[in-house]
Amino acid sequence: MIRLILGLCLISKVYGKFDPIAFTVSQSTTTFSGAATIPYSDNITIHNAATNIRNGIFTCPRDGIYKFSVFGCSAVSGHFALDLYKRNVSLATLYGHLNGGQVVSGNTVIVQLKVGDTVQVKSKNAATVSLQSSSKENTFSGVQLGSQALYSGDHTVVAFSATSNHHQNVMGNNIVQYHTKLVADGGVLDLFTGVFTVRSSGYYVLHFASTSMQNEELWLDLFVNEDYVCSIYARADFEWASASNSVVLHLSAWDKAGVFSRAGRVSRLYGSADYIFTSFSGTQIVSDEDLNNPDTEPVVIFSVGLSMNATVPSGKPVVFNRVFVDLKRAFNLNTGVFVVPVTGVYEFNYHCLARANSFLSLVLVKTNSWVNGFFHLRNTVHPFSAGNSAVLELTAGETVYVMSDYTYNYLVGATDEVYCTFSGYLLHSSGPIVIG
């Protein structure tokens, strides 16, 4: 009884804070002709009564800064070129095609919106889009940023997002450059140098994506100061090839983050005014100052990676071995399972690279049910990557993990080659804490 009363006191203290607009929708029917809006007819999560996403069109109900992620998966030998639009302006592009195979590509951007602004995904030009239909590979997610920032009054949301609309040949150890800023970030990302300089210490989620030119390699590494974090790799014969990754890190004021071409390699990135593939975006999830404030919402963040090769049999979770962050010690490194410590709405991102001449089939599982994933992708010649993302409403005690859905998934990793990552964090809590 005393515990209960104490619990209720705690609850009244931690509730009632910023509740974000947040959604993930998916598309299972497959073929769209040029300029059509992808209707995203299946809802994975529509959080918050104010979230307005209908027929694939998100209409902004509150001024603010929003993060959008889109993933597409081509049908066998199918093709897609999709643009993420804010009103009539393309923010970012996704492309996928492989003769006799399927590919996944994704992109994430952060953008400032005003009430009434629309955001949607459209098929490019006259070409028909042909997407894989089986199981929620094709997703569109949006999250309003600022759960802690809006609460702490004088803070503003710390976010940057930049894209490139030029081809780039990035020599080994050289940094990727960007040309367009999607949010006014007060100079935290320098377009001229490509460097993100941290002004406010705290936990940040970072996303980067790119696409190689036909037959060319893309091998990019995220560094913070001198420290290697994670990579993307892509190459396809006679095709453009895409890859993306995400990670959550603790960053201190004056840390510098940037995306570099792998030492000794040249990354040839495709980019034009119409094909905006290369992006680098990030936002602070919580500042150190807020984290140390007892009134702050519960903070749950984990981010893990794979720094070795792993063969994952069907029905088993991917057991990640490198920990970037595990604030509530809720991610079990022995099993690969995240046990939800606080009821609320969460965002998850996962990515991986499979070895050449293998199948790749992974799903995000929420307590025994599939959320989304990518299925039986195959590439015979080069390693290939895929990823996905989801907003989920979860109850304390539920589990979330990335599971193999094929006899063997051969995932690629090494100490300085982390392509496979899995990150999740609480956006807003709405129930009691189970694990302290």
Ligand X SMILES: *[C@@H]1O[C@H](CO)[C@@H](O)[C@H](O)[C@H]1NC(C)=O
Interacting stretch for ligand X, rule CB under 6 A, among 10-18, 36-44, 156-164, 334-342? 36-44
Q: Does 111 bind ligand X (CB under 6 A)?
A: no
Tell which residue, 360, 350, 278, has the closest CA to residue 102.
360
Contacting residue, 2, 3, 88, 292, with ligand X by CB under 6 A: 88
Q: Does 114 bind ligand X (CB under 6 A)?
A: no
Q: Which residues pair with 386 in a beta bridge?
A: 352
Q: Does 43 bind ligand X (CB under 6 A)?
A: yes
To the nearest whole angstrom, how small is the minimum distance from the Cβ of residue 202 to ligand X?
32
Residue with tokens 């694990």: 435
| Secondary structure class of 325 (helix, strand, coil) | strand
Interacting stretch for ligand X, rule CB under 6 A, among 46-54, 194-202, 217-225, 370-378? 46-54
Amino acid, single-letter form, for residue 410:
Y
Nearer to ligand X, 249 or 310 (CB): 310
Sites for ligand X among residues 151-170 (CB under 6 A): none
Nearer to ligand X, 29 or 43 (CB): 43
Nearer to ligand X, 225 or 357 (CB): 357
Tell which residue, 347, 322, 381, has the closest CA to residue 20.
347
To the nearest whole angstrom, how small is the minimum distance from the Cβ of residue 194 to ligand X?
25
The CA distance from 65 to 82, in Å, is 22
Q: Does 89 bind ligand X (CB under 6 A)?
A: yes
User: CA end-to-end span of the chain, whole Å?
Assistant: 19
Residue with tokens 């300089």: 197
Interacting stretch for ligand X, rule CB under 6 A, among 38-46, 127-135, 208-216, 248-256? 38-46
To the nearest whole angstrom, how small is the minimum distance from the Cβ of residue 206 to ligand X?
25
Residue 348, both tokens:
């998850």
To the nearest whole angstrom, how small is the minimum distance from the Cβ of residue 412 to ligand X?
5
How big is the site for ligand X, counted in residues (CB under 6 A)?
11
Nearer to ligand X, 155 or 355 (CB): 355
Contacting residue, 17, 166, 355, 376, with ligand X by CB under 6 A: 355
To the nearest whole angstrom, how small is the minimum distance from the Cβ of residue 37 to ligand X?
15
Contacting residue, 224, 251, 394, 412, with ligand X by CB under 6 A: 412
Nearer to ligand X, 53 or 159 (CB): 53
DSSP-derived letter for residue 88 is T
C-alpha torsion angle, residues 406, 421, 293, 298 (rounded to 10): -10
Interacting stretch for ligand X, rule CB under 6 A, among 5-13, 35-43, 67-75, 222-230? 35-43
Contacting residue, 18, 28, 30, 46, with ligand X by CB under 6 A: 46
How many Å separate Cα 110 from the centre of its chain? 11
- Where are the strands (E) in 48-197, listed by range? 53-54, 57-59, 64-73, 79-86, 89-97, 104-113, 118-123, 129-130, 138-144, 159-164, 168-170, 180-181, 189-190, 195-197
Contacting residue, 54, 114, 167, 329, with ligand X by CB under 6 A: 54
C-alpha torsion angle, residues 32, 37, 41, 42 (rounded to 10): 100
To the nearest whole angstrom, how small is the minimum distance from the Cβ of residue 179 to ligand X?
16
The CA distance from 412 to 357, in Å, is 12
- Where are the strands (E) in 126-214, listed by range? 129-130, 138-144, 159-164, 168-170, 180-181, 189-190, 195-197, 202-212
Sites for ligand X among residues 288-317 (CB under 6 A): 309
Q: Does 415 bind ligand X (CB under 6 A)?
A: no
Using CB under 6 A as the criterion, which residues of the chain lie in contact with ligand X when the complex forms? 41-43, 46, 53-54, 88-89, 309, 355, 412
